Chains A and B, each alone.
Chain A
Amino acid sequence: MTATDDTAAWPRETAAAAPGTKGPRAGRSALAVQVVLWATVLVFCLVPLFLVLVISFGHKIEGAGWEWALTLENYQRFFVGANWPAESTSLYLGQLYWSMRYAVVAALLAVVTALPFTYLMTRQSRRAQAVWLVFLLATLSLSEVFIVMGWDIILSNNSGLPMLFAATGLTDWLKDTGWFDVLRDWGLANPRNVKFKPSEVATVLTLSYLVWPYAVILLYPALSRLDPSLAEAARTMGARPWTVARTVILPSVRLPLIGTTLLLFVFLLGAYVAITVFADPSQHTTAVSVYEHVRGSTLNAPFGAAQSVILLVTATAFLVLGQWLTRKSPRAA
């Protein structure tokens, strides 16, 4: 859908640019640029994607590798498992559910928290804004592995929050009041101390943290262009700050908000390290399963590819839905 939009936009942009430039030479070079762009897209995006699609129809040979074939067994396995029809399993559908759930929740959390932060940031002096932006850009150089390692230490028994719980006597207090047994039932404690991993909260927090700088950087342009006089006018007419935020600021940045959420969502679908470290195996995602099948000892690339294709289709469906929401609401508003 986005692709067709882009192609539709191309001629218009070149047409708009043409009067400013001169003659057929500019036209030829524009054409050359187009050719190069399309060739790049073809070689680096479409060919690998096509390969994944073709491999997903391959056949797995037990005890060895796989061979080219044209079978739907990998797709069937995704929905009912390898032992169908003797038995069926929702293992892989469950993983897809967790992929979507983590990506949606973590993206929303990041955007919802980044929005007020970015808004307040744009009200600072130019200099302060620059410092913040440089700082946030710098944090992007930290890889997922580093960030997960940091959070791992923060949540570890001898070095992080649990140690703080034990040292401050909070653990003993929990034990005395009986709350400790409740935490044990929830899987948030072992007989010795509280524990925060594996847990969904830790996973979502880490994922959100991972994409938070992107959220700020993506929201910044829209929020910094926001005319302060609009909010001031609303305030002079007696609107309370919350009403101003709800009726003036939010509607004017609605599109960038949805766009940012969708982008972070796509980015988070591929998260691997954070999931393997912080999520319980019952809450592992399709991305983890793809990796295990492609790189793991079974060498089952066809099933890994089939899972990737299904993940891609599901993600596209979510994006189309997001686009549809974006299109639909301006008329409503």
Chain B
Amino acid sequence: MIRLNRRNLLKQGSAAVGLAAASSVIGTPLIAQTRTLRVGSYGGYFENSFKEHVFPAFTAATGITVESVTQPNSTDWLVTMQQATAAGSVPTDISLYARDTMIKASRLGGLIKTLDLSKIPASANLDPYFVFDAGEGPLGVGAMSWFTAMVINPTEVTEPPASWAEFWDTSKYEASLGLSKNYNAQFMDITAATFFDGEATFATEEGILAIIAKVAELKPNVALWWSAESQMEQAMKNGDVIGGQYYLDVSNLMASEGFPIKPIFPKEGNPQDYGSWCLAALSDKDAEAAEFMNFSSDPATQALMSRKIGTAPLVAKDKTDLTDDEFGFVSGTPAIKPAYEAYLDKETFMKEAWDKMVAGV
């Protein structure tokens, strides 16, 4: 067995310069025989759960070893991949992108590869909406879905709100809520579903301004405009806020650890977003990637992710063996579908109008 210390690595490295130059991956000749695949996922608990439960199952099923790559989130990662692609070497084969980021990647061009669905037969299990095609062939296969939910502190809010509209009641929620500061964190979709005509209201600039004006009325009740997920987590734990919007999966996890947080599905519902596996244009792991996406689209894997990571499955519940309780933990109805197209086509207008409202100028 080769002891891997710095000195050895240097020796081996100099001996293998030719090989390394060819494969451009220093230090992997030992496992060159095995098939490998680099897969990105959001860091922290999310990635750890993948490493512990999903990737080993995939390796057991296919013999392909997975190297986990940490993505900070979806949009930051697109910038990283854009720069890496321009530089000619990408840090991962498969990236996990939210739908808006994936559409953006397809519009930027040259970042993600078209997929051959005949090699991914299990993708037929997914609703066609979750297999993204910008017109030149499929670019992303749905991985998992997540909800942004209404959350409350059950010890402070004894009567759970039946509607998002109750958050506008200053006598109950003065300086007590935590909302995302990002214009595209789907609070506009919530407001549109609660007070307007949902996605249709995003069609005109007047509609968008009306939604933003409605959110402005909520400002006296907002104690925290969070930009990082951890800010809202801390604020709920610390009692700085007693309600707001937060991710359903993390909320349920926090609740199961005993923290005072309870996610709720009010009558208008909660926004549902989803992530897709996309293959980097510079990757040559087409075959391995297809096998991974096929594995991930399998109802059994979807159920595994729901149980171990807390994401909602992208296949119908009756295709999985999830119990009602398990399904209720990760999903709910109704689901609000974000106005993705408007967020992209009018992004500068929406961001500036939203930022002006939040800043009060």
Contacts and interface: CB of A to CB of B under 8 A. Distances in A.
Given A91-B361, A190-B176, A281 B108 contact: no
B355 interface: yes
A219 B150 CA distance: 51
Contact of A299 (B79, B174, B227, B360): B79
Given A156-B238, A191-B174, A60 B356 contact: no
B359 A94 contact: yes
Nearest to A281: B358
A299 B78 contact: yes
A192 B156 contact: yes
Interface string A83-107: 1000001110011000000000000
A190 B174 contact: yes
Given A64-B104, A297-B101, A277 B238 contact: no
A167 to B, nearest CB: 13
Interface in A258-284: 276-277, 280-282, 284
Contacts, number: 108
Contacts of A60: 348
Interface residues of B, number: 44
A328 B54 CA distance: 69
Contacts of A300: 348
B320 interface: no
Nearest to B352: A82
Q: Which secondary structure characterizes the binding site on chain A?
A: loop
Contact of B361 (A64, A90, A297): A90
A4 to B, nearest CB: 35
B188 to A, nearest CB: 13
B347 to A, nearest CB: 5
Given A62-B346, A89-B352, A91-B356, A157 B238 contact: yes
A95 B360 CA distance: 12
Nearest to A284: B359
B85 to A, nearest CB: 12
Interface residues of A, number: 41
B345 interface: yes
Nearest to B80: A295
A89 B176 contact: no
A21 B357 CA distance: 66
B234 interface: yes
B82 interface: yes
Given A94-B359, A152-B234, A297-B184, A62 B347 contact: yes
B100 interface: yes
Contact of B175 (A90, A187, A284, A297): A187
Nearest to B226: A276
B182 interface: yes
A298 B348 CA distance: 7
Given A91-B352, A91-B356, A156-B238, 5 more contacts: A81-B352, A189-B175, A192-B176, A297-B182, A300-B348
The 8 closest A-B pairs by CB, nearest first: A63-B344, A156-B238, A190-B175, A157-B239, A64-B107, A297-B75, A281-B358, A158-B239
Interface of A: 60, 62-65, 81-83, 89-91, 94-95, 152-153, 156-159, 184, 187, 189-192, 195, 197-198, 276-277, 280-282, 284, 294-300
